[in-house]
Structure 1
Amino acid sequence: MADDVAAWVGEALGVRPDDPAPFVRALTHSSHAAGQAGDSYERLEFLGDRVLGLIMAEWLWELFPDEPEGNLSKRFNALVTGTVCAEVARGIGAVAHVRLGKQARDDGAQHGDNLLGDVMEALLGALYRTAGLDAARAAVRRLWADRIHAEDKAPQHPKSALQEWAAANRRAVPAYSIVDRSGPGHAPRFTVRVAVGKDEISAEGASKQEAETAAARALLATLIAQAAPPRGRRRR
C-alpha cells in the first residue's frame, strides 16, 4: 500500500516521498480511520486549504497585475472551490487510492465532490509538510494550469450575479432556504430554494453552498430569459 501510494504521489504531484505515511493519511476518510481525526485527512485538509489559498492568491497576483482586488477575488473563488479541487483529484486518479469504510465505499462516497475536494487539499497539505512550499507551488501551478486562464474575464459567482440582477431590476433581494437534506453523513445531498419575489427555483448539491450556487444559476437564467423581448421584436 505505502509503496503504491509513494509511486502514485511521485507521478501525480511531482515528488516521490521518502515517507508516504502523510499521503496515506491524506487519502484516508474518517470512516476508515474509526473516527480518529489524527488518522484521517481532516487535519491535513485544514492545512492544505490554506496552502492552496496562498499559492493561488500569489499566482493570480502575478498573472493579472492590472486587475483590482475585486476581480482577483472572483478568479480566486472560482478556482479553489470544492468542485474544482474534486475535478483535479479525479484528474490525477485519486479515486483509486482513497481509503474508506465499507459502508461509505458501498455508498459511492469516493466519487463525491465533497470527499474528493477534501482529499485534494489534504494531499497538498501533505506535500507542503514533506517537501516544502516550492514543491506545493509547482504542483498547484501544473494541476491548475488549464483552469487559471479558462476565463478571459473575471468570473462572476452566480449568487453575486443574481443579487446584482435583482438590484438592477428593482426586484427583491434573493432569499435562500434549505428544502431538504438527505443521504448519509459522508455523502449528504442538500436541496435549496432561492426566491426573488414570486419567482423561485430549487436545486440540489453535495453541500449547502453548492446547492445555493446551482439554484442561483438556474433562477438567474430563468429571469433573464423571462425579461428578454420576444424574437423578432425589439424593445423601444
Structure 2
Amino acid sequence: MSWLGIKVLPREESRVERNMEAKECDPNETGGNEMQMERSRRPVGSEPITEDGVQVRYGELQAPSSPLLRHVPDPEGELEKMMAGFDHLERKLMYCFNDKAYLLQAMTHASYSPNQLTDCYQRLEFLGDAVLDYLITRHLYEDKRAHSPGALTDLRSALVNNTIFASLTVKHGLHKYFRHLSPGLGEVVQRFVTIQEENSHAINEEFYLVGEEAEDVEVPKALGDVFESIAGAIFLDSNMSLDTVWQVYYRMMRKEIEQFSTKVPKSPIRELLELEPETAKFSKPEKLADGRRVRVTVEVFGKGTFKGIGRNYRIAKCTAAKCALKQLKKKGLLARKLSYYNACQFYQYQ
C-alpha cells in the first residue's frame, strides 16, 4: 500500500529453522495440531512462516519529529517564554505535553506573527479532524445501545461539526489560550463567547439562530479548528496513541455524547423533508457580498420562505432548514404532521 502514499509499518524478513522450532514442542502434547503450534509460537505482529522458512515481521512507525523550528537563536529558551501560562491549559486538558511545541502550534493562528517557532495550527487541525472523526465513530459503533445506521449517521453529524467543537472550546476555556492578531476574528470570537456564557454553555444550535435568516450570529470556525488541532497535537505528542487522545476528549465530550445518544438528534434537513416532502424546495447557494459566506433559501409552499447563511452550501442549507422548522413549529403549521410522525416513530420502535 505504500505506493498509494499510505504509511505502512516497517517490514523485515528473517529465516526461521522449522526443524529446530519443532523440537521445542512435542506434537503428541498438542494433539498434533501443527497449525496451532505455529500460531502459538508466532511473534506478535508477524506473518506465518512460509514454506521456505521465511517469516515476515512488522516493526513500528518512526515517531514524528518535533515541530519546533530552529532558525532563531536559542529556540528552546524562546519556546519556554512563549509557553508562559500554558501549564493551566495542560491542567484543563489533564495532559502534560512532552514536546510543548505541539501545544504552541495547536493554539497559533496564521495571523499571530510573534510565534516564529512553529507553524500555525492548520496542519494539526487537518490531522485532528480525522482522528476525532474516527474516535467518535468508533465509540458510537461500540455503544451497547446498538444504534441503527440512520441513528449512527445523525449522531456522528451532531457530534462532529464546527458548532459543537467551538462550543466545547469555549465551555472548557480553551479559547483563552488561542493566539491571534486578527481584529475581525477577535470580535466574532468574543461575540460567540458572550452568547455561550449567557446560555450557560448549552450545546444547542437553536441559540445561534437569531431571527428568520440567522445572519446575526456566526460560529467562529477558528474555535472549532482549535478543538481539532489540540487533538492532532496530543496524537503526535503521545507517539500517535489514539487511546490517549480519547481519554482526553471523552472527558470533555462525555456529557454531550450521552445527551445525544439518549435522544438522537435528527438532521434538520432530513426532518424538514420528511415532514414536507412535496412542498419544501431548497434554492441554489447565493454568494454574499463579503465573499466568505453563502445564502440558501428554502420555500415551504403556502407556509413561508426561510433563509440560512453559512460558510458553505451544506451549512447554509442546514441553517435554512433549522429556521424553517423553528418558525413553522412556532406557528403551529407542523403540529398535525409532527403528531403523526411521532406516532409512526413510536410504533416503529415497539
Note the C-alpha offset of 1:219: 1.0
- The change in CA–CA distance for 1:128 and 1:205 in structure 2 (over 3 A counts) is same
Quote the residue 2:138 is aligned against. 58
Note the C-alpha offset of 1:42: 0.9
Letter in 1 for 2:254: A
Q: Find the structure with the greater CA-based Rg.
A: 2
- The change in CA–CA distance for 1:208 and 1:26 in structure 2 (over 3 A counts) is farther
State the identity %: 27
| Alpha-carbon contact 1:114-1:207 (below 8 Å) kept | no
149-158 or 205-214, larger mean C-alpha shift: 205-214
Quote the residue 1:162 is aligned against. 272
- Aligned partner (choices 280, 300, 318) of residue 213 of structure 1: 318
CA–CA distance in 1 between the matches of 2:132 and 2:318? 22
| Alpha-carbon contact 1:3-1:20 (below 8 Å) kept | no
- The change in CA–CA distance for 1:63 and 1:26 in structure 2 (over 3 A counts) is same
Deviations 1:107-131 (A, max 9, x none): 4446543110011000111011102
Q: Which has the higher contact order (CA 8 A, sep 6+)?
A: 1
Note the C-alpha offset of 1:161: 0.7
1:49 and 2:138 are equivalent in the alignment = no
CA–CA distance in 2 between the matches of 1:201 and 1:194? 5
SS in 2 for 1:154: coil
SS in 1 for 2:283: strand
- The change in CA–CA distance for 1:89 and 1:106 in structure 2 (over 3 A counts) is closer
1:72 and 2:155 are equivalent in the alignment = no
- The change in CA–CA distance for 1:156 and 1:73 in structure 2 (over 3 A counts) is same
| Alpha-carbon contact 1:45-1:122 (below 8 Å) kept | yes
TM-score w.r.t. the length of structure 1 is 0.81
TM-score w.r.t. the length of structure 2 is 0.56
CA–CA distance in 2 between the matches of 1:13 and 1:118? 16
39-48 or 200-209, larger mean C-alpha shift: 200-209
CA–CA distance in 2 between the matches of 1:117 and 1:182? 24
Quote the residue 2:252 is aligned against. 143
Note the C-alpha offset of 1:176: 3.4
Quote the residue 2:297 is aligned against. 193
Letter in 2 for 1:11: R
Note the C-alpha offset of 1:166: 1.9
120-129 or 192-201, larger mean C-alpha shift: 192-201
SS in 2 for 1:201: strand
1:202 and 2:307 are equivalent in the alignment = yes
Note the C-alpha offset of 1:63: 1.8
| Alpha-carbon contact 2:188-2:220 (below 8 Å) kept | no
- The change in CA–CA distance for 1:205 and 1:24 in structure 2 (over 3 A counts) is same
SS in 1 for 2:137: helix
Q: What is the RMSD of the two structures over their aligned residues, measured on CA atoms?
A: 2.7
Number of residue-to-residue matches in the alignment: 220
Point out 4+ residue stretches in structure 1 off by more than 4 angstroms: 109-112, 205-208
Note the C-alpha offset of 1:157: 0.8
| Alpha-carbon contact 2:154-2:265 (below 8 Å) kept | yes
| Alpha-carbon contact 1:55-1:140 (below 8 Å) kept | no
- Identify the structure with the greater helix proportion: 1
Which runs of 5 or more residues in structure 1 are unaligned? 230-236
Quote the residue 2:102 is aligned against. 22
CA–CA distance in 2 between the matches of 1:29 and 1:226? 45
Quote the residue 1:90 is aligned against. 170
SS in 2 for 1:202: strand
| Alpha-carbon contact 2:89-2:177 (below 8 Å) kept | no
SS in 2 for 1:40: coil
Letter in 2 for 1:149: E
